[in-house]
Amino acid sequence: MNIKMTSLLLIATVFVGMNTQTALAKDIFYYIGYGMVQVVDGDTDAIVADIPVDGWLRASQFSADKKFLYVLAKRHLIHKIDLAKNQVVSTIDVNGGGWDRFMYGFELGADGKSAFVTILARSTKNGEAVVAAPILAQIDLERGHILRSIEVPWGSATLVSVKNASSIYVVGKDIVKVDVSGEEMKVIGTYPMFEKQWNILPFWSYTAENGGVFMANYYTPELMGLVSIDTNTGEITDMPLDGPPVFAYSVIRSPDKKKAYAVMDELTVIDLETRSYGPIVPIPEGTCYAINVSSDGKKIYVSGGGSTTTVFAAESLKPIKVLQMETDGMDFKRLTF
């Protein structure tokens, strides 16, 4: 066999392998609802399982091995859901010791046994309310105990784990970078947003779906922009967009990285190469908080807020299916195998 033939066979093998990998890619979506997580099959876009969960649900994250989903409930519970059994297998409560604690933001630690959360805590002393300063805390996922903590600014809302959880970026009025690799957590820098008049609501995080890039939209008095955090490098990128701002709760990047999709009352396409808005289509069902995209980029899902999930064809931007969910919802996350 000559070198040319060997090369052709090698290329063919690579292509077959790629096609097989594509064909095998399987999307499962998780609808983060109220007292319930619903599972949607990405091939059929049908609801295939209901997972009863106590409480109103907020931040969530899949474990690195894709076997579990951690979800915050009522701001003080963390449920661990076994995705093979589709059931809650453990719950921890961070309240205790006379303190009510409210968690905002959730990022699993590198060890998989702990997690980082921002906490606002309140108690009473001699009949008076006592409100503690907000903290970034690392908590034990077995018992919910706080292992260590550091004070963070008021308004700290969302966490982004950077460089394999060696740093945590705390997104609030500004982005505060905290080194968590040593024995004590240390603030190592701040990316200013408040002074630039940015207004941001970064509650929807699609870092995994975006290939390791956290992305959120922000507003100034003049425009909407996208702020991104590359979780592999820690780099923060600001992309102001041309034109009058659209209104969006959340954004996600298309798999080819050329576009972003934003959602609120409409589904908006953003051209990331020209930094401008593309088509804007209304969502017949109404306002949605959450957005996601199939791993092949062919379908866009808008969901949450109200109790619907609308599936759009990415190319035509026509709605192709509406799922009536059991409850209202907060988020719609994708897991791809």
Partner 1 sequence: MKRKRPIQALNEKARAIQSLAEGEDKSVTALQDGPPPMPVGCTTIFDTGWETNPRPTYPVGNCMASARDFHGCAGDCWWPAQVPDGLTNHEDFDKQCPNVVRDWRLLKFD
Which residue ranges make up the site for partner 1 (CB under 8 A)? Answer: 33-36, 55-56, 58, 74-75, 102, 104, 120-122, 126-129, 131, 133, 154-155, 157, 172-173, 194, 199-201, 247, 264-265, 286-289, 305-307, 325-328, 330
CA distance 334 to 61: 10
CA distance 329 to 32: 6
Q: Which CB, 150 or 165, lies closer to partner 1? A: 150
- In the complex, the smallest distance separating the C-beta of residue 205 from partner 1, rounded to whole angstroms, is 15
- In the complex, the smallest distance separating the C-beta of residue 64 from partner 1, rounded to whole angstroms, is 28
Q: Which CB, 218 or 261, lies closer to partner 1? A: 218
- In the complex, the smallest distance separating the C-beta of residue 203 from partner 1, rounded to whole angstroms, is 9
Three-class DSSP category at 3: helix
CA distance 28 to 265: 25
Q: Which CB, 197 or 274, lies closer to partner 1? A: 197
Q: Which CB, 118 or 295, lies closer to partner 1? A: 118
CA distance 27 to 299: 11
Q: Which run of H or E residues covers position 195?
A: none
- In the complex, the smallest distance separating the C-beta of residue 294 from partner 1, rounded to whole angstroms, is 23
Q: Which CB, 72 or 272, lies closer to partner 1? A: 72
- In the complex, the smallest distance separating the C-beta of residue 310 from partner 1, rounded to whole angstroms, is 12
C-alpha dist (Å) from residue 283 to 100, 280, 316: 38, 10, 14
In angstroms and rounded to an integer, the radius of gyration of the C-alpha atoms of the chain is 21
- In the complex, the smallest distance separating the C-beta of residue 201 from partner 1, rounded to whole angstroms, is 5
Q: Which CB, 198 or 321, lies closer to partner 1? A: 198
Contacts of 229 (CB under 8 A, 6+ apart): 160, 162, 169, 175, 213, 214, 215, 235, 236, 237
